[in-house]
Structure 1
Amino acid sequence: MRLPRPPSPRVRPRQPSQRAKETGRRDVLLIERWPGLGTIPRVPLVDTPTPVTHLEGVSARAGTAVYAKRDDATAERYGGNKVRKLEWLLGDAREKGARSIVTVGGYGSHHCLATAIYGAQEGFEVHAVLFPQPSSPHVSEVKRAMIAAGAKVTTVRTAAAVPFAIAKKVARLKIGGASPYLIGPGGSTPIGTLGYVAAGVELARQIDEGEIPEPAAIFLAAGSGGTASGLAIGLAAAGLVTPIVAVRVTGPLAINGPTLSRLVQNTVSLIRFHDGRFPIVANEAVRAIVIDGRHRGPAYGASTGAGEHATSLAGGDDLRLDPTYTAKAFAALLDAARDQTYDGPLLFVSTLSSAPFGPLLTNALG
């Protein structure tokens, strides 16, 4: 559905930052359109725009047109949705004078792996507090890559022990003068969510330019809510309100209507503090998000039969899924296609890195 499109402010093209000149990356469309956001610290990491592709094999099997926003290719070294958030989180950490990063996730956390890789690249010492999740070769591979990237890992026996472990870690780093910066699960703070506001504006332009048709619904995996919240804000700001099906893979306390509403409201407030020309779209964004908790399985990280089927089907179009997140979101999309829940093409946001793991494991021990 189209909203009346807010007028784009007429501004002179911004000169690229020194970092953008060095990396060859240009400033994100979000900043070009609302230049006040250029005052928010950011470390350019993402190769934008990420492509959108037609999944021909899946479309033939599903009986409806299915497309993918290939955020698995956000960066060559290691992609996925977390890289978009880290651009802003690491920029904020640097601005605050931090020397170390403390974050949290499961044993196979892609967020912790991405933080380890790009935190070290930007000169931070990265500490990860990890809680248990069902074991699999993929989980073990992610944990090994995390350690190979230089992360200092602390494991706890239960998720309930995480807050104490983080508090202890932060206190020790402060005493040692390491100036820690804390990034919560998934990096889903208003600062981190800016990464997917940018992605939403980027996707809206790709739709406007005819790279893909306007989708009837967008499907993505939701662990902490930042990806869904940011995407909804960015699309609404560009005048496009499309149902965003946030397929919940964590418990209902981690992601629910009130938590997403707060994150959306706080993110829009942050944006408008820096650029008052950004439209007031929080209510539209919240209404666009549909939480689907039917595919979580018996526990966080547990694989499901529907997810395994989705993985097999997506593989025919060279789309790689993981059992914890993306397989469940793709299974929800296939259910919607089968049940004809939405009248029109469906879009899947591919958030699992497609970069090869071999180079990441080169220095792994064990």
Structure 2
Amino acid sequence: MSENAIAASPALPSPAPPPKRSTPSIPVTLNEAGLDSPSFRASAVFFADQADAIERWLEGYVRTTSKLTHDILGLEETINQYLTKLIPSPGIVSVDHDYTALALKRVGDGSREWWGQILNIAKKIDTLSVEPVRTFLASDLRNFKETKRTLEQSQKTYDSALARYVSQSKTKEPSSLREDAFAVYETRKAYLKASMDFCFFAPQLRFNLDKLLIQISTDVWREMKKSRDAAGSLAKYGQEMDRVRGWSKEMELTESVFKRELYMARRDIGDNTLASCKPSREIDDYSASTVPFLGSRGSMHVFTQGKSAAIVEKQGWLFLRTIYGKPSRTNWIRRWYYCRDGIFGWLVNGPQGVLQGDEIGVLLCNAKPAVQEERRFVLR
């Protein structure tokens, strides 16, 4: 590796995690949230942006639909006056009653029914679409935004606490280090809960949004089909709309099962993640004298299975030291590193999402503890 030093992010001595309980199905996002990976952070930002865009769209929909309803109903008197003028008054006898008057009467009857359907839909549009959207904005979307704010705040608190902890001198009193480690653990615990809540409520928001939009679409479509003028052109789409409505009904029937499995996965991953990152209470684990001998016990992630060895993939946050400016200054940049299939590389969040950095072969690396560094848990 290069001469740049890399500091391990967790820096929290922890016991071996308990065996995981099996779950029928575990969404990938929950696993990523338990790891606090860049993929989870990028997914959370993307979904939060989507929620903001959905909110702007629905608010605009409510405004324009309400205005349309108001304007159409404001024309009701004008429409009624128009309909009365379609048929000549009884005093006009200079038109042919067998043909001209009959044609005008049929046009008047058809126009009355057509405009009546439009006015009827306009009167129902608030109940059919505007009120459900307002309810969704005030309940589901509002609750999700609160969950998002909690996630952002807890993530910021955890990142700050972790950065302060890992930057401490290894000569600091072990008992004080242990207290600081548990302080970081509490922020991680709060951040994990917020992450699990976000992963739990995000699919619920999507489901309720789909359910809302399909309900509005099918209700409005049903009212449109009552219009005689629209019946001919809309009838060919009737079967397709029925199929979409049937899909929505099936989704409603399976919602409870999905919600239950999602809750089980959230609970299991949350418990296992907390157990794996809980700091040790052994004060010797915080002694600076243990640092030079970190590699004396061999890899903690190689398990024998008979005569062969199974090497477990490793990934997590590390801090890379960079030097900048004149006079030179040291800065520690947090990055997500991974080691798998003999390759060591890193990921970083960028404007276009998660970006992959350079990769090198593990056989080309020569890593050892940097004893002379003031910062704890530093490799060179």
- TM-score (structure 2 length as normaliser): 0.24
**Structure with the greater relative contact order (CA < 8 A, sep ≥ 6): 1 or 2?**
2
